[in-house]
């Protein structure tokens, strides 16, 4: 009986691919898909995008000389197959697990990861930098950037394309077109020209013709090849890229391994910037992912047999509470607009989009545009709500300052995934928003302690005639009852959750409940603890906090934000401003990038637990 061959077990590095024939490479593609599906079903992760680039990953690792040649994967959530082909197959079961493989490329994880990515539209710029460094050092290797069509909705991708066309360094950009239909009809002429111009004999003939024409006139050669390039570009979607200084090849079936390897082998020695346009299908090879691409873009654990998520709790999340509140308020006020940047499902705006399609805008991966677009709407009397993850809001910092806050426009920022997000790791944690927002004039910043208070804060923000930000974490809420109707909260007012006289604990957001738990433990030890839910990070409740700080003199602040410039720093500034002498212990995220892993484990590792509050209390009372 013939034994089934497992080709993936044989792949320790890309060199091992080169001994396989085309049929064996196709079987390897099936194995890789199966490995990705079975692993992500257990670990969660980005499934659809990685399934769509299996053949591309094999072709790139087969055709180029890695790790000497460099590949930069845009965003990086499509790099799972690349990880399997570059010596990480035996550790792949640790994907997104604490101390295991990252869900994104990391230069510290493998020599085959040329650049760390996690945010979109950066790969062309990074790859161009690597290519120019190669030129300056007079070295010889290839640089390849792989970008999705979605990445081209981000302005930085076009900045990179524009500069690459100007610098004319050798650079290959692979455009993985899996959704936007840049070209629906590739046509026979385009297909013929593509085959012709990527064939070695074509390059040889072109060289000979060029030499012949140059004997008569340099301009004759230039005109002949300019005509050929123009015809090729006009026969497909390549005219834009040609105008930006790229030689265009495609579209190519991104699931045809032979076509991909042939094209890469034939173009890799062509000089200057090259763009290879491939057409792929997200979720390829797993029917449920093919049918529901958005659901399987980033998914938690799921059942392979039916594609259903394995739910851990039916309790409402902060995202869900925000979604419900915004929809209710939009029903009451037609001026409410919802805006996001390619994260409608993740921010809970998918429900809003169905009920109010005319008032919902997903601008693509264009965070800067989203914010200034909202600012424009605000000048005309609308109430735009910009919903983004904290990590992506960072990308629109200038627009928040210049286009919204400087003009004091009533834009509300709903900042999801603030603090520790978990398995996606340092590129997706949101520990910096309080620090980078707190110093902006005209901006009111709120942090709800639970899902009920989140709704009231949204109501408050929409009633303001000035910019406001509400930051809340990923995950389920506190399980409290939602109180309707929503009401506004007095700006800059805190909430005393517990009276006490020995220690003052001031908490930001959901950590208020952790502070209450610690207070109960301290009460058992005979200590009287006052707990404040600050509610407003800016402006602070200066009157209440100052009075209690003077009276008690021993303060613990707790926040799920970077300690540098965060909420605790704001309390220290308040004390300094009012010349209040007090012992202060701040608890928050340390000055380091936090690794990936379960949220609660990471919080324990960085000191955001009840025991850390108890230790701080012991220290401050000594």
| pLDDT at res. 187 | 42
Q: How many domains does the chain have?
A: 4
**Domain annotation covers residue 489:** no
| Mean pLDDT within 145-167 | 91
Which parts of 525-609 fold into alpha helices (H)? 542-552, 567-577, 599-606
- Point out the least confidently predicted range of 120-124, 213-217, 255-259, 461-465: 213-217
469 bridge partner residues: 413, 445
Instruction: Say if residue 347 is in the same domain as residue 276.
Output: no
Mean pLDDT across the stretch 407-431?
A: 96
- Statement to judge: residues 401 and 440 lie in one domain: yes
**Is the peptide bond preceding residue 251 cis, with omega within 30 degrees of 0?**
yes
**Across 245-254, 465-474, 502-511, 535-544, least confident range:** 245-254
The answer to whether 415 and 430 have CB atoms below 8 angstroms apart is yes
The secondary structure of 468-532 as a DSSP string is: EEEE--SSB---PPPPSS-----TT--EEEE--SSEEEEE-TTHHHHHHHHHHHHHHTT--EEEE
Of 5-9, 281-285, 424-428, 490-494, which has the strongest mean pLDDT? 490-494
Rounded CA separation 238/564 (Å): 47
Model confidence band, residue 222 (pLDDT cutoffs 50, 70, 90)? low
Average pLDDT over residues 229-254: 76
> Domain containing 539: what range?
495-621
Mean per-residue pLDDT for 578-583?
97
3-state helix/strand/coil string of 118-137: CCCCCHHHHHHHHHHHHHHC
- Is the pLDDT reported for residue 197 higher than 60? no
Q: In the predicted model, is pLDDT for residue 502 greater than 80?
A: yes
Tell me, yes or no, whether 194 and 327 share the same domain.
no
Beta carbons within 10 angstroms of residue 124's beta carbon: 28
Looking at 215, 235, 255, the residue that finishes a domain is: 235
Q: What is the model's pLDDT at position 250?
A: 84
Instruction: Supply the pLDDT for residue 149.
Output: 84
My answer on whether 593 and 448 are in the same domain is no
Annotated active-site residue in 33, 35, 282, 527 = 282
Alpha carbons 567 and 512: distance in angstroms, whole number: 13
Kindly tell me if the per-residue pLDDT of 422 is higher than 70: yes
* In-domain check, residue 550: yes
165 and 278 in a single domain? The answer is yes
H or E stretch covering 620: helix 610-621
Mark whether 343 and 267 lie in a shared domain: no
**CATH number of the domain encompassing residue 111:** 3.40.50.970
Within a domain: 216: yes
Query: Rounded CA gap, 429 and 427, in Å?
Result: 6
Choose between 240 and 276: higher pLDDT: 276
Would residue 294 count as lying in a domain?
no
User: For 524-566, how does the pLDDT look when each residue is reduced to its tens digit (9 = 90+)?
Assistant: 999 999 999 999 999 999 999 999 999 999 999 999 999 999 9
Residue 201's pLDDT is 54
- Tell which residue, 574, 553, 558, 568, has the closest CA to residue 607: 558
| pLDDT, tens only, 444-456 | 999 999 999 999 9
Task: Tell whether 240 is covered by a domain.
Answer: no
**pLDDT tens figures, 2-53:** 335 688 989 999 999 999 999 999 999 999 999 999 999 999 989 989 999 9
The answer on 283 and 257 residing in a single domain is yes
Residue among 70, 106, 242, 367 flagged as catalytic: 367
Mean pLDDT, to the nearest integer, of 481-489?
Answer: 92
**Weakest mean pLDDT among 191-205, 233-247, 307-321, 375-389:** 191-205
Q: How far is CA 585 from CA 30, 293, 497, 567, in A?
A: 55, 47, 20, 12
pLDDT band at 290 (very low <50, low <70, confident <90, very high): confident
Helices 54-63 & 22-43 angle (0-180, nearest 10): 130
Which residues have a Cβ under 8 Å from the Cβ of 272 and sit 6 or more positions away? Answer: 168, 169, 170, 171, 245, 247
CB 138 within 8 A of CB 126: no
What's the CA gap between 616 and 101, in Å, rounded?
34
Query: Which one of the listed residues 83, 395, 438, 535 is annotated catalytic?
Result: 395
**pLDDT: is 315 or 403 the higher one?**
403
Work out the average pLDDT over 184-194. Answer: 40
Strand partners, 268: none
Residues 88 and 68 in one domain: yes
List the single range of 7-11, 309-313, 473-477 with lowest mean pLDDT.
309-313
- Reduced to 3 states, what is the DSSP secondary structure of residue 253? strand
**Among 219, 221, 250, 253, residue whose Cα is nearest residue 233:** 250
Final residue in a domain of this structure, among 437, 471, 505: 471
CA distance 570 to 484: 32
Chain mean pLDDT for the chain: 90
Q: Is residue 482 part of a domain?
A: no
Percent of the chain with pLDDT over 70: 90
Whole-angstrom distance, CA of residue 95 vs CA of residue 89: 10
Residue 237 is predicted with a pLDDT of 64
**Which residues are paired to 144 by β-bridges?**
71, 172
Residue 299 lies in a domain: no
The answer to whether residue 367 is catalytic is: yes
Is the pLDDT confidence value at 520 over 90? Answer: yes
pTM: predicted TM-score of the whole model, two decimal places:
0.88
Is 181's pLDDT higher than 50? no
CA distances from 417 to 192, 274, 360, 366, 391 (A): 49, 38, 21, 18, 8
CA dist 386 and 413 (Å) reads 5
pLDDT of 185: 32
Q: Is the pLDDT of residue 196 over 80?
A: no
- Token pair recorded at residue 23: 């049929």
CA dihedral angle for residue 97, residue 102, residue 107, residue 111, rounded to 10 degrees: 80
pLDDT value for 221: 53
Residue 578 in domain: yes
- Interval 332-341 mean pLDDT: 97
* pLDDT at site 292: 86
Edge-to-edge order in the sheet of strand 383-389:
360-362, 336-340, 383-389, 412-416, 468-471, 444-446, 536-538
Mean pLDDT of the region 586-607: 96
pLDDT value for 192: 38
| 282 counts as catalytic | yes
CATH of residue 599's domain is: 3.40.50.920
Per-residue pLDDT of 344-383, as tens digits, reads 999 999 999 999 999 999 999 999 999 999 999 999 999 9
Residues 169 and 42 in one domain: yes
Question: SS3 of 63, please?
Answer: helix
197 plus 343 within the same structural domain: no
Tokens at 159, concatenated: 């900045």
Cβ(11)–Cβ(31) below 8 Å: no
Segment 116-139 shows an average pLDDT of 94
Q: What is the mean pLDDT of residues 105-131?
A: 93
Q: Are residues 100 and 73 in the same domain?
A: yes
The verdict on 521 and 454 lying in the same domain is no
Rounded CA-CA distance 403/529 in Å is: 43
User: How would residue 218 be classed by pLDDT, with cut points 50, 70 and 90?
Assistant: low
169 Cβ neighbours under 8 A, 6+ residues apart: 128, 131, 132, 134, 135, 272, 273
Residue 264, pLDDT above cutoff 80: yes
187 is written with which tokens? 């046509």
């Amino acid at each position: 009986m013939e034994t089934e061959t497992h080709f993936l077990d044989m792949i320790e590095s890309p060199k091992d691919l080169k001994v396989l024939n085309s049929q064996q490479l196709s079987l390897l593609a099936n194995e890789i898909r199966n490995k990705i599906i079975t692993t992500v079903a257990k670990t969660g992760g980005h499934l659809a995008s990685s399934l769509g680039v299996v053949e591309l990953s094999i072709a790139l690792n087969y055709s180029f000389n890695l790790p000497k040649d460099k590949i930069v994967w845009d965003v990086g959530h499509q790099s799972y197959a690349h990880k399997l082909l570059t010596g990480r197959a035996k550790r792949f079961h640790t994907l997104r697990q604490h101390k295991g493989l990252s869900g994104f490329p990391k230069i510290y994880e493998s020599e085959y990861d040329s650049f760390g990515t996690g945010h979109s539209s950066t790969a062309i710029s990074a790859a161009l930098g690597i290519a120019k460094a190669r030129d300056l050092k007079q070295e010889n290797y290839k640089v390849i950037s792989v970008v999705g069509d979605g990445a081209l909705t981000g302005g930085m991708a076009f900045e990179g394309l524009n500069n690459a066309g100007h610098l004319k360094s050798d650079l290959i950009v692979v455009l993985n077109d899996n959704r936007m239909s840049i070209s629906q009809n590739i046509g026979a002429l385009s297909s013929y020209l593509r085959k012709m111009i990527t064939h070695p004999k074509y390059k040889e003939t072109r060289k000979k013709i060029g030499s012949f024409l140059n004997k008569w006139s340099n301009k004759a050669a230039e005109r002949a090849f300019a005509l050929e390039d123009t015809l090729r570009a006009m026969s497909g979607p390549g005219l834009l890229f040609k105008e930006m200084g790229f030689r265009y090849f495609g579209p190519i079936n991104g699931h045809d391994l032979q076509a991909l390897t042939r094209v890469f082998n034939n173009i890799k020695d062509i000089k200057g910037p090259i763009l290879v346009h491939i057409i792929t299908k997200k979720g390829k090879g797993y029917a449920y992912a093919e049918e529901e691409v958005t659901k399987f873009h980033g998914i938690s654990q799921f059942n392979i047999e039916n594609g259903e998520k394995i739910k851990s709790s039916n309790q409402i999340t902060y995202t869900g509470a925000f979604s419900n509140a915004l929809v209710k308020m939009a029903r009451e006020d037609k001026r409410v607009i919802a805006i996001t940047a390619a994260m409608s499902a993740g921010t809970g705006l998918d429900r809003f989009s169905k009920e109010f399609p005319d008032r919902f805008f997903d601008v693509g991966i264009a965070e800067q545009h989203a914010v200034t677009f909202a600012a424009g709407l605000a000048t005309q009397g609308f109430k735009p709500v910009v919903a983004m993850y904290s990590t992506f809001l960072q990308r629109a910092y200038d627009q928040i300052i210049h286009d919204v806050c400087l003009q004091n426009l009533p834009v509300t920022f709903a900042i999801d995934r603030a603090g520790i997000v978990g398995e996606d790791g340092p590129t997706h944690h949101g520990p910096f928003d309080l620090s980078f927002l707190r110093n902006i004039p005209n901006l009111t910043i709120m942090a709800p302690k639970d899902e009920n208070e989140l709704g009231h804060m949204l109501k408050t923000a929409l009633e303001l005639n000035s910019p406001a930000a509400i930051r809340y974490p990923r995950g389920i809420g506190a399980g409290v009852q939602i109180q309707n109707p929503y009401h506004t909260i007095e700006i800059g007012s805190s909430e005393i959750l517990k009276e006490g006289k020995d220690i003052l604990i001031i908490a930001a957001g959901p950590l208020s409940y952790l502070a209450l738990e610690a207070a109960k433990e301290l009460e058992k030890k005979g200590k009287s603890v006052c707990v404040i839910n600050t509610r407003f990070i800016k402006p602070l409740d200066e009157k209440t906090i100052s009075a209690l700080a003077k009276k008690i003199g021993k303060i613990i602040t707790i926040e799920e934000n970077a300690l540098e410039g965060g909420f605790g720093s704001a309390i220290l500034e308040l004390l300094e401003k009012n010349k209040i002498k007090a012992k202060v212990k701040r608890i928050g995220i340390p000055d380091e990038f936090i690794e990936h892993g379960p949220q609660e484990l990471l919080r324990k590792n960085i000191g955001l637990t009840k025991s850390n509050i108890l230790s701080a209390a012991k220290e401050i009372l000594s």
